[in-house]
């Protein structure tokens, strides 16, 4: 029985909770996987700790009203760190807020979980991009796993694809569409619509934030490039090492000119092995229409691995979403279950 503690219980946390509820029987029948949620701590929604397990349906209902602390018979009032240290969970599910500048407060949650000898599964890009190497070492020192499939392209299995299916290949380059909002904007600008007009629609659809800089200036893609560089290429790079340009400088005329050349603008995140190190970038690139990445439109993401044994392998799939990102955590939980 895997005992889980959720740190953060927003869109993704609740997405995983819904999957666990819905698939409880199949997970047990097909994989022998059983779980118990022993704690939840969320900034505004409240906290609850019950070492012998909380009922997920009740938790989801209470979360809707920001009343998790009113869970009957549970200990309330514990913050994230107290919850990690006090609960008897063997896996911490860290799905709080992402901060790409300092990684906090999630970085402290990560360290507390690993130091307490608990496995950690997360979709949180900040600490993963900034501190992956140290965190992997800390996990190894404490004999636990750190799994972070959902930090890059949500539940679309890019990290597991690399670690499991491509093992034995040398990956010389990874390049892809790592941000759905900017791909949605560029795809629609090709139809002749202005940047401002499409951005407004992306905001109305919930793809883009009111302050869209993290997406349109390439910061979100940069975090994913750093995770890919560190995880797939084992490179030690920092934010300053990534050559970053967003899409705000792309004009309709540029898109038209690219079309005439038989090309299409995409915001490409790229890591290329070079000498002993890597070169990493996020920038708008004119992609040939024959490139598989060119046909990936809307908010969809895609990643091409350039390998020595297989040539190019491209995976296409969702890069965000409640269930899609919740699934990445389920994949990580099942991996821990299978390998313990």
Ligand X SMILES: NC(=O)c1ccc[n+]([C@@H]2O[C@H](COP(=O)([O-])OP(=O)(O)OC[C@H]3O[C@@H](n4cnc5c(N)ncnc54)[C@H](OP(=O)(O)O)[C@@H]3O)[C@@H](O)[C@H]2O)c1
Of residues 4, 5, 8, 189, which one binds ligand X by CB under 6 A?
8
Stretch 140-169: interaction string toward ligand X, x if CB under 6 A: ----------x---x---------------
Q: Confirm or reject binding of residue 320 to ligand X (CB under 6 A).
A: yes
State how far the Cα of 183 lies from the Cα of 303, in Å rounded to an integer.
13
Residues 6+ apart with CB under 8 A from 183: 177, 266, 267, 296, 297, 298, 299, 300, 301
Q: Which helix (H) or strand (E) holds 280?
A: strand 277-288
Q: Among this protein's residues, is 224 annotated catalytic?
A: yes
Q: Confirm or reject binding of residue 76 to ligand X (CB under 6 A).
A: no
Gyration radius of the chain over CA positions = 20
Of residues 105, 127, 218, 269, which one binds ligand X by CB under 6 A?
105
Residue number with CB closer to ligand X (150 or 284): 150
Binding segment (CB under 6 A) for ligand X, from list 84-92, 122-130, 134-142, 279-287? 122-130
Sheet of strand 277-288, all strands in order from the earlier edge strand to the far edge: 242-244, 277-288, 263-274, 171-177, 301-307, 311-317
Active-site hit among 224, 230, 266, 270: 224
Q: Confirm or reject binding of residue 178 to ligand X (CB under 6 A).
A: no
Residue number with CB closer to ligand X (114 or 278): 114
Q: Confirm or reject binding of residue 96 to ligand X (CB under 6 A).
A: yes
Task: Give the SS3 label for residue 61.
Answer: helix
Binding segment (CB under 6 A) for ligand X, from list 117-125, 206-214, 272-280, 293-301? 117-125
Residue number with CB closer to ligand X (95 or 232): 95
DSSP at 11: H
Q: Confirm or reject binding of residue 231 to ligand X (CB under 6 A).
A: no
Beta-bridged to residue 284, according to DSSP, are: 267
The answer to whether the beta carbons of residues 93 and 121 sit under 8 Å apart is yes
The answer to whether the beta carbons of residues 229 and 214 sit under 8 Å apart is no
Binding segment (CB under 6 A) for ligand X, from list 3-11, 183-191, 281-289, 301-309? 3-11
Nearest to 117 by CA among 142, 92, 148: 142
As annotated, the active-site residues are 224
Q: Which residues bind ligand X (CB under 6 A)?
A: 7-13, 41-45, 80, 95-98, 105, 123-125, 150, 154, 320-321, 325
């Amino acid at each position: 029985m895997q005992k889980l503690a959720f740190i953060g219980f927003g869109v993704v946390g609740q997405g995983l909770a819904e999957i666990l509820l819905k698939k409880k029987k199949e997970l047990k029948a097909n994989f022998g996987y059983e779980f118990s949620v022993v704690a939840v701590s969320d900034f505004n929604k409240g906290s609850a700790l019950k070492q012998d397990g909380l009922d997920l349906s009740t938790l989801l209902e209470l979360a809707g009203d920001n009343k998790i602390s009113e869970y009957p018979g549970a200990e309330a009032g514990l913050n994230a760190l107290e919850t990690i240290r006090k609960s008897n969970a063997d896996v911490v599910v860290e799905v709080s807020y992402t901060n790409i500048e300092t990684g906090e407060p999630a970085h402290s949650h990560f360290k507390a979980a690993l130091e307490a000898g608990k496995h950690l599964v997360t979709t949180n890009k900040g600490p993963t991009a900034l501190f992956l190497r140290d965190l992997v070492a800390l996990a190894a020192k404490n004999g636990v796993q750190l799994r972070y499939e959902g930090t890059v392209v949500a539940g679309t299995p890019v990290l597991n694809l690399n670690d499991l299916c491509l093992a034995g290949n040398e990956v010389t380059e990874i390049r892809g569409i790592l941000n759905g909002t900017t791909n949605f904007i560029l795809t629609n600008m090709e139809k002749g619509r202005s940047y401002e007009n499409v951005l407004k629609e992306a905001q109305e659809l919930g793809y883009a934030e009111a302050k869209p800089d993290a997406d349109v200036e390439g910061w979100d893609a940069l975090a994913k490039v750093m995770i890919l560089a560190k995880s797939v290429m084992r490179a030690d790079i920092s934010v300053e090492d990534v050559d970053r340009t967003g899409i705000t400088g792309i004009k309709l005329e540029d898109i038209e000119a690219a079309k005439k050349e038989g090309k299409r603008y995409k915001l490409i995140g790229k890591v290329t092995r070079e000498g002993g190190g890597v070169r990493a970038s996020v920038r708008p690139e004119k992609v040939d229409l024959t490139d598989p990445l060119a046909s990936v439109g809307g908010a969809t993401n895609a990643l091409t691995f350039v390998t020595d044994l297989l040539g190019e392998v491209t995976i296409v799939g969702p890069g965000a979403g409640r269930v899609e990102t919740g699934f990445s955590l389920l994949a990580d939980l099942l991996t821990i279950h299978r390998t313990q």
